[in-house]
Amino acid sequence: MTKSSVLGYPRIGADREWKKALEAFWSGQLQEDELHSRLQEIRLNHLRQQQAKGIDLIPVNDFSYYDHILDTAVMFGIVPKRFAYSGGVVPLSVYYGIARGTKDAAASEMTKWFNTNYHYIVPELNDASPALTENKPLTAYLEAKEKLGIEGKPVIVGPLTFLKLSKGYTESETDGWLDKLLPLYTQVLQELADAGVQWVQVDEPALVTKLHAEDIQHLNKIYRTFAEAVPGLNILLQTYFESVEHYNDIIALPVQGIGLDFVHGLEGNLQSIQTFGFPADKVLGAGIIDGRGIWKASLQDKLTLLQTLTSFVTTQRLIVQSSCSLLHVPVTATRETKLPAKLIDALAFAEEKLDEIVILTQALRKPDAVVFATIHEAEQKLQALQHSEDRNRKAVQEAVATIRVQEPNRSHPFAQRYVAQQDKWQLPLFPTTTIGSFPQSSEVRKARQQWRKNELSNEQYASFIRDQIDRWIHIQEDIGIDVLVHGEFERTDMVEFFGEKLAGFAFTQYGWVQSYGSRCVKPPIIYGDVEFTNEMTVAETKYAQSKTNRPVKGMLTGPITIMNWSFVREDIERETIAYQLAYALRQEVEALEKAGIGMIQVDEPAVREGLPLKQDQQANYLDWAVKAFRITTCTVQETTQIHTHMCYCEFHDMIDSIEAMDADVISIETSRSHGELIHSFEENTYELGIGLGVYDIHSPRVPSVEEMSSMIDRALRVLDPKLFWINPDCGLKTRGQQETVASLQNMVDATRIARAKHTAAAVSN
């Protein structure tokens, strides 16, 4: 009989109870036993929800106290030496120390989970001596069975993926690490089998990335070892986020089931099954409900897909499931009361996706009139949004159709623009600037809340913002910064701020998702054609410029970053959404220029986050991402200086695309990887203006003048001095005023030293 399942459930709770419990514990307001108690109740509620909805194979061990990759590392005793771990079950103090750092030890690196907006903690193997500290999947299985009578499906990250996501070893050491880890994995699986577990989900998302012959050898070694050690245990080898590479090798592995993504990997996985078939002795986990998107599925289309799959696998060997963990979507749409009805009717968060999975499972098992009525009703609700005015703004569609076939070029090449801009601005050698935002104090946040609650009038709030701008313009001038910013005190979030001012966006009340640790974000929803309606940033920027004789940069978030940090519609290509955003932002750029703002920064920190996992799709994405940026900025005069900001993004892999953006100045977040980036410039040339972040804003410490001077000196060995800018590596919104002023003063002092050195060297030559 066809079964239903999901690959994981959101941890945070409908009211972010999980986040609140963690932060209360970190601040000392909650004792450890109270934390365990609260998190257990949250965890059991999630299981009850899935049980009540009728999910057959409910995942356990998908819950985490911070991050599931960190959980896997500490389960195997892989703890960096600087945390003074001495063996046994890893204490919470050490666990959170790895994730967040301690007074004496830096946190482990955090990076993106494949191509999602979730971040995981990178395991540090180095000279670790792994040992099984506790069988977390077994504990989760027994808890669900004893507390709720649920025969759970334990989830564990597979060995190949775990190694590929780790650092501190070389490729030549992979076999040695497998020899260390496989006995521990085997012990976990044996104990699960002894406890009566029927199915174990072993997550191997690395199988959708580029694999080499050695990877296939390692896969065979891993799963032959498991098959020999636990022949009676059903292993579901689970992949997601794309179609698998080396399909024939993977379906030949000695496992009882294979999970494939038929949403984001639909074309590739379906083609593989249609071409090569599917093993008659294996179960197919069909991931057909999108675990990353927030739209209701076309249930009729999904049922048709499932019926196609039954040509290759019997319904008895089919599991209807989510395409990936539901970790990436909000918990429930039932509490969203302020959205338009046509939009609410089209949303499916985690709870609603459970209903979709169950309905489709019933349609395969024993369809009846109720099932088909539900499928028909869902289709009608989707069509109501599709035919709405919001998705049919003809003026926007016609404008985008025109600009997408044009080449968005500046009126003059960079070399000519550089001369014109130097003549206009008369900037000194190594101009100093910041990335845009300044500290948002409790006073700023309080004023914004009062304004949103109508406790402050629009004029009172505007007056408050002007006072903040006044203060920080004076601070910047006193420090000696060359190019100023207004500080962004009116902005909560760099995407939300613009989304609230553009047509085609909607904002949820409770649509939170986990980004990393307890950090939750509430992404905007791009549900209609994006349209510019009114000026968004001109008033504050123009006011700031009126208070100083130094140039003030206008500050915008770029089209690709807005898109990648939002939930986007599925009825049109992402490329089209990017061009709609670019066209709207272009109108804001033009408004800033018309208001006398001659330096405009269009930030694109998230360009690389949208990079497809498949290498053969990456060049096309980068082409239209660059084009969207150029559409935004191409119409300005040659004397208008376009800046952009990007986070460190394996610069050497993207240098051609970054240069093709044709920004006059790019600042790059590099302080944590400064040496790696400088090495990229030793191998590549970059002929536009560039600022490498000379200090890390993510830490409250104030770096010394000597530290920053060292970074500047190294950069100048490989970069053209006349094109080099000096700045922090990111915005300063989260920092305090005292540390911000002190750090910026040291930055300006280090710049003066660099100018003196360069002048002396020029004279001596």
Binding-site entries for Zn(2+): 645, 647, 669, 730
Asked if 446 contacts 492 with a C-beta cutoff of 8 angstroms, the reply is no
Cβ burial, residue 489 (10 Å; 0-12/13-18/19+): buried
| Crossing angle for the helix pair 92-100 and 68-75, to the nearest 10 degrees | 130
Q: Cα(647)–Cα(617) distance, rounded to whole angstroms?
A: 22
Q: Which residue in 212, 376, 474, 698 is the catalytic one?
A: 698
Instruction: Tally the residues of the chain.
Output: 765
* C-alpha dihedral, 181 to 187 to 190 to 191, nearest 10°: -130
Greatest C-alpha distance within the chain: 90
Strand order in the sheet with 234-238: 3-5, 318-322, 283-289, 257-261, 234-238, 199-203, 153-157, 59-60
The closest of 505, 608, 610, 491 to 556, measured between CA atoms, is: 491
Cβ neighbours of residue 200 closer than 8 Å, sequence gap 6 or more: 137, 153, 154, 155, 156, 189, 192, 233, 234, 235, 236
Dihedral sign computed on CA atoms, order 34, 35, 36, 39: positive
Q: How far is CA 700 from the centre of its chain?
A: 24
Asked if 644 contacts 607 with a C-beta cutoff of 8 angstroms, the reply is no
Q: Angle at CA 427, nearest 5°, toward 423 and 431? A: 145
Q: What phi and psi values does residue 668 have, to the nearest 5 degrees?
A: -125, 130
Q: What phi and psi values does residue 634 have, to the nearest 5 degrees?
A: -75, -15
DSSP state of 107: P
Q: Which residue positions form the known binding site for L-methionine?
A: 435-437, 488, 603
Q: Cα(32)–Cα(38) distance, rounded to whole angstroms?
A: 10
Residue identified by tokens 């701008």 is 469
Q: Which residue positions form the known binding site?
A: 16-19, 112, 117, 435-437, 488, 519-520, 565, 603, 609, 645, 647, 669, 730
Our answer to whether residue 119 is catalytic in this structure is no
Q: Cα(119)–Cα(111) distance, rounded to whole angstroms?
A: 5
Asked if 222 contacts 162 with a C-beta cutoff of 8 angstroms, the reply is no
Cβ neighbours of residue 195 closer than 8 Å, sequence gap 6 or more: 138, 141, 142
3-state secondary structure of 230: coil
Q: Which residue positions form the known binding site for L-homocysteine?
A: 435-437, 488, 603
Asked if 319 contacts 282 with a C-beta cutoff of 8 angstroms, the reply is no
Asked if 761 contacts 713 with a C-beta cutoff of 8 angstroms, the reply is no
3-state secondary structure of 679: helix
Positions annotated as catalytic residues are 698
